[in-house]
Each structure stands twice: as C-alpha cells, then as structure tokens.
Chains A and B, each alone.
Chain A
Amino acid sequence: MTARAWDGIAAVGSGILFGVGLVLSGMTRPEKVVGFLDVGGAWDPSLAFVMAGAIGVHVLAYRWTRGRKAPLFTAKFGIPSRRDIDVKLLLGAAVFGVGWGMGGYCPGPGIVSLASGGTGPFVFVAAMLLGMFVTAKLEELAAASSDRNGQERAKVV
C-alpha cells in the first residue's frame, strides 16, 4: 500500500477515535456542556475531566512525536507557527464562545450528534456550515482587495 492510502486510513481512524471519545466524554449532551459552563448554577464539572484527559495524552504524544524528523505517511509536519495575538483571534474566539454557551455545541460534537438523527443537531450544523462558508468567502474577498490595494500603491510609488 502507498503512503497516501495509509494517510487516508489514519485519517479515518483518527476521526472514529475522536467521534467515540466525544460521545463517551459527554460532549454530545448539550445539557452537560451548558451545565459545565454555567459555573454559578448547578455546576457539573465533568467536562474539566475531558480537557484534562485529552491534554494529558496529547502533551506526551506531542513531545514524543516532535522528536521525529517527519510524520509516518507525509513529508513534513504542518504545525501552526504564528505567535501574534491579534484582534481577529480574540474576537473570533469570543463569538465562538457565545455560540458554544448558547447551544451547548462546539463543531465536533455538533457534527457527531448528526448520528442521532435529531433535527436539533441538523439545524445547528447547517447554520454552522453556512457561517463558516460565508466567513471563508469574506476572508477571500478581504485578501483579494488588500492585494489590489497593495498593487495600486506599488504602481503609485
């Protein structure tokens, strides 16, 4: 088998593990998510254990994996390297947090909850995909317009 085929198998395997983990952890029960975020109410601290478990395993795996020159099936690691804290990052995170606290779904659990066949997850995911798509288009337009402005400035100079 080719490395590309193994890469695909690993992606499916990672998705399955991730999906099972999200459901087992309680993240696909919006009442638990809201009960966790509502710290002044009838607080359910369970989801702190999800974060602790996931980060605990991933810290070890990250340190071990980054000692390698390359991943198993692709040429190089694609780890984000930006370190600047900008307005887009914080505004985006704040808007995401409000939506998360409102519906009790973040992206993964929303998608995995489609498996229940319920209309709630379907409505949430449809709106989320629309929001993602429109934002991606707006970012493309903004990038294209700043490119044009840059070229015009270059001409003037």
Chain B
Amino acid sequence: MTDFTPVSSLLGGFLIGAAAALMLLANGRIAGISGIVGGLLRGERNETGWRALFVAGLLAGGLVLQLVAPASIGPSVVGFPLLIVAGLMVGFGTQLGSGCTSGHGVCGISRLAPRSLFATATFMAAGVLTATLLRWLGAVS
C-alpha cells in the first residue's frame, strides 16, 4: 500500500478549492482543467489569454514543488502503450462529457449541479472498475 497521507492531502485539497474560488471571484469562471485546455485547443477568441496564463501557472506551481520536493511528482505506473490509450481516453472523455475531476468533481459538486453529480459518480465508478481489473490482470506495477 502507498503511504496514507491525510494531512498533506487535505491541505492540498484546501489549496485546490481556494484556487477554484479565486478563479470564480476574480473572473467569474469555473476552474475546470479539461475545459480550459480544451478551450485553448478550440482557439476560442478573447478566451485564450486567461486560459494560457492559468496553464502557465499550473506548470509554474509544479516546477516549484519539483525543486522543493522531487518525490512528490511520482513515476508512471504503466508502460507507454497503456499511457497512450489512457491519454486518448481522458482527452476524448473529458471533452465529450464536458469536464473532469476539477470541473465536475470539485466545482460542480460544490454547487450541487446535477450533471456534475452524475458525471462524477460515473467516472469514479469507471475508475474503480478499471484499477481493479488492471490489478487482476497484473498490468499495473
């Protein structure tokens, strides 16, 4: 089992909730990462600046913690073929389903949006089934 980290996980969660709150208060938008990145790829006019700046901030935050605590960004648990399939599915699924863990899971659930409640229940269930199945098949290191 991986180490149980309730304190750092809770603190990290507070920061994620605060980041989404800042986005809402300052510019009135949902901090949904798949929506922001998908919007950049769609090239929607007048919406590119803040989206690019948000993604730059994400990377900057990652870089700072990578320098302070390198082990906090862990290695991948599956090989390249499964990573590619996983990436394609996450890309397709989040665009078709209009959101991911941040937009549906955090922002949507916080305002009790029915679409987000159904979406989150669905992707959690699919994630649990997949992780369980891959362990049985011995695909995850």
Interface residues of A, Cβ cutoff 8 Å to B = 6-8, 10-32, 34-35, 37-47, 49-59, 61-62, 65, 68, 70-74, 76-80, 82-85, 88-108, 110-121, 123-136, 139
Contacts and interface: CB of A to CB of B under 8 A. Distances in A.
Contacts of A124: 76, 83-84, 86-87, 90
B14 A38 contact: no
Interface string B7-23: 01111111111111111
Interface string B105-134: 111111101110011101111111111101
Contacts of B126: 93-98, 100-101
Contacts of B1: 35, 42-44
B88 A21 contact: no
A72 B25 CA distance: 6
B25 A65 contact: yes
A31 B2 contact: yes
A15 B56 contact: yes
A29 B93 contact: no
A31 B74 contact: yes
Q: Is the interface of B mostly helix, strand, loop or mixed?
A: helix
Interface residues on B, range: 35 or more
Contacts of A19: 57-62, 65
Given A71-B28, A73-B26, A18 B2 contact: no
Interface of B: 1-6, 8-31, 33-34, 37-38, 41-42, 49-51, 53-66, 69-70, 72-78, 80, 82-98, 100-102, 104-111, 113-115, 118-120, 122-132, 134-135, 140
B57 to A, nearest CB: 2
Nearest to B119: A93
Given A37-B128, A97-B124, A18 B134 contact: no
B22 A14 contact: yes
A13 B22 contact: yes
Contacts of B84: 123-124, 127
B113 to A, nearest CB: 7
Contacts of A16: 19, 57-58, 60-61, 64
Contacts of B18: 17, 21, 57, 61
